[in-house]
């Protein structure tokens, strides 16, 4: 957090409210741990005098920004800020990445207000809201629509959502709903808008992060999420969000 300057964050911990979805994560609060880093997710953020510095040390201050995937940066805010992370391998994520074309998108004041509303809705909505789709619409990024009609895919998602064990073997998961592995991979992406492997990764992250937030050790949380060990969980978290699970969850209230 910064107060009228470009100093580094006051705390290494993020403090506020957050939610992890099928292939996105949303946060509203005080920005913490934030040295220069890069991660695979598309990142958007808005607030009062938000600040972004890219890997070439070019600094910008504004109402909000959207950054392409794998973009080296650090980001802070003068006050409470809204953040959204979107997996670039989803239908909406690919559309947003094409719209950005590896460049930073500066949000106009009205866009920044709309962006915060998207993040707020993502955190408070009772269902698995679609903030990635809403961000794509805000940026005018044309995208394909997922059909979400096949009952076999719906059944598989329901089973994953309620089961303690995740079906890492795509072939076994496909067979359980009467599909071949190749057909499952194609149908899942078409129906859900998220590739099968991407969906599993975010499901693991969501379970493990929620376990840490509930007081579990990193080792226990990694087990809950289905990661090989705590190092695998921490490494994945940094790749997707640029921060450690401990720094992310210590001061956050998760839905």
pLDDT at 61 over 60: yes
What would the pLDDT profile of 211-250 be if each residue is shown by its tens digit? 888 889 999 999 999 999 999 999 998 888 888 888 888 7
**Residue holding tokens 């921490």?**
234
Residue 73's nearest CA partner among 95, 42, 94 is 42
In 3-state terms, what secondary structure has residue 80?
A: coil
pLDDT of residue 155: 87
7 pLDDT tier (thresholds 50, 70, 90): very low
Strand partners, 76: 51
128 pLDDT tier (thresholds 50, 70, 90): low
129 pLDDT tier (thresholds 50, 70, 90): low
Return d(Cα 57, Cα 59) in angstroms, integer: 6
Instruction: Please enumerate in sequence order all residues whose Cβ is within 8 A of that of 36, keeping only pairs 6 or more positions apart, or say none.
Output: 53, 55, 72, 73, 74
150 pLDDT tier (thresholds 50, 70, 90): confident
Return d(Cα 216, Cα 209) in angstroms, integer: 9
pTM given for the model: 0.85
pLDDT at 12 over 70: no
Lowest-pLDDT range of 32-36, 83-87, 94-98, 165-169:
32-36
Higher pLDDT, 36 or 51: 51
123 pLDDT tier (thresholds 50, 70, 90): very high
* Mean pLDDT score, 97-118: 96
pLDDT of residue 148: 67
Return d(Cα 14, Cα 187) in angstroms, integer: 37
Lowest-pLDDT range of 20-24, 38-42, 162-166:
162-166
pLDDT of residue 120: 96
Average per-residue pLDDT in the chain?
86
Q: What structural domains does the chain harbor?
A: 15-138 (2.60.120.10), 151-243 (1.10.10.60)
Return d(Cα 35, Cα 90) in angstroms, integer: 27
pLDDT of residue 11: 59
pLDDT of residue 33: 65
pLDDT at 77 over 50: yes
């Amino acid at each position: 957090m910064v107060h009228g300057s470009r100093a580094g964050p006051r705390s290494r911990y993020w403090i506020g409210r957050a939610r992890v979805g099928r292939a996105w994560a949303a946060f509203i609060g005080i920005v913490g741990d934030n040295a220069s880093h890069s991660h695979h997710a598309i990142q958007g953020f808005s607030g009062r005098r938000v600040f972004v510095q890219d890997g070439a040390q070019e600094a910008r201050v504004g109402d909000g920004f959207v950054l392409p995937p794998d973009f080296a940066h650090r980001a802070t805010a003068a006050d409470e800020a809204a953040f959204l992370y979107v997996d670039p391998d989803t239908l909406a994520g690919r559309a947003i990445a094409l719209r950005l074309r590896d460049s930073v998108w500066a949000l106009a004041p009205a866009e920044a207000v709309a962006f915060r509303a998207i993040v707020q809705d993502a955190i408070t909505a009772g269902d698995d809201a679609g903030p990635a789709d809403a961000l794509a619409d805000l940026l005018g990024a044309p995208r394909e629509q997922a059909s979400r009609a096949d009952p076999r895919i719906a059944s598989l998602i329901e089973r994953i959502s309620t089961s303690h064990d995740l079906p890492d073997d795509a072939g076994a998961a496909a067979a359980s709903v009467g599909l071949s592995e190749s057909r499952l991979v194609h149908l899942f992406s078409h129906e859900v808008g998220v590739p099968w492997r991407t969906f599993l990764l975010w499901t693991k992250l969501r379970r493990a992060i929620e376990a840490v937030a509930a007081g579990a050790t990193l080792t226990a949380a990694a087990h809950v999420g289905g990661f090989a060990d705590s190092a695998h969980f921490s490494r994945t978290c940094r790749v997707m969000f640029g921060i450690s699970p401990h720094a992310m969850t210590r001061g956050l209230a998760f839905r």
